[in-house]
C-alpha cells in the first residue's frame, strides 16, 4: 500500500468505514511504527526529532500534505516529538484515506 498510496489521493465522498480484514491488510503494508489507537478506530505513530526546529519543520510539512489531501490528523506536539493520529471521523472509524495519508507522512521521514 505504501508505494501505491503515494500515487493515490484521498477521496472525501467515497470514504467508507473499512472492514477489519481490510484494515489488517493495510496495517501490514504501511511502513513505520503505526499501531491501532486505543479506541480501535484510529492509527497512531510517534515521531522523534533532534530538536524543536526539526519537530516544527515536520509538523509544517505534514500540514501541507494534510491540506493537499483534505484529510487532517490529530497531532500532539512537544519539543522533540510529534504523535500523529489518523481517523476518518465522518465514517466513525478507519478508511483508506487514513492509510494513504499515513504512507505520505512516512515518506516525509524516509530520508
Contact 66, 73 (CB under 8 A): yes
- State the Cα–Cα distance between residues 55 and 78, nearest whole angstrom: 8
Contact 64, 107 (CB under 8 A): no
Contact 104, 61 (CB under 8 A): no
Helix, strand, coil percentages, rounded to 5, for the chain: 45, 20, 35
74 phi and psi angles, rounded to 5 deg = -90, 140
- Per domain, the residue ranges of the chain are 2-8+15-108
pLDDT digits (tens, 9 = 90+) for 27-85: 998 877 999 999 899 999 999 999 999 999 999 999 999 999 999 999 999 999 999 99
Q: What is the pLDDT of residue 71?
A: 93
CATH assignment of 2-8+15-108? Answer: 3.30.1360.20
Amino acid at each position: 500500500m505504501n508505494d501505491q498510496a503515494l500515487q493515490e489521493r484521498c477521496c472525501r465522498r467515497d470514504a467508507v468505514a473499512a472492514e477489519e480484514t481490510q484494515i489488517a491488510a493495510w496495517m501490514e503494508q504501511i511502513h513505520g511504527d503505526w499501531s491501532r489507537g486505543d479506541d480501535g478506530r484510529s492509527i497512531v505513530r510517534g515521531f522523534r526529532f533532534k530538536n524543536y526546529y526539526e519537530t516544527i519543520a515536520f509538523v509544517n510539512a505534514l500540514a501541507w500534505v494534510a491540506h493537499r489531501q483534505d484529510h487532517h490528523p490529530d497531532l500532539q506536539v512537544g519539543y522533540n516529538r510529534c504523535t500523529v493520529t489518523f481517523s476518518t471521523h465522518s465514517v466513525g472509524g478507519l478508511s483508506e484515506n487514513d492509510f494513504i495519508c499515513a504512507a505520505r507522512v512516512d515518506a516525509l521521514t524516509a530520508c
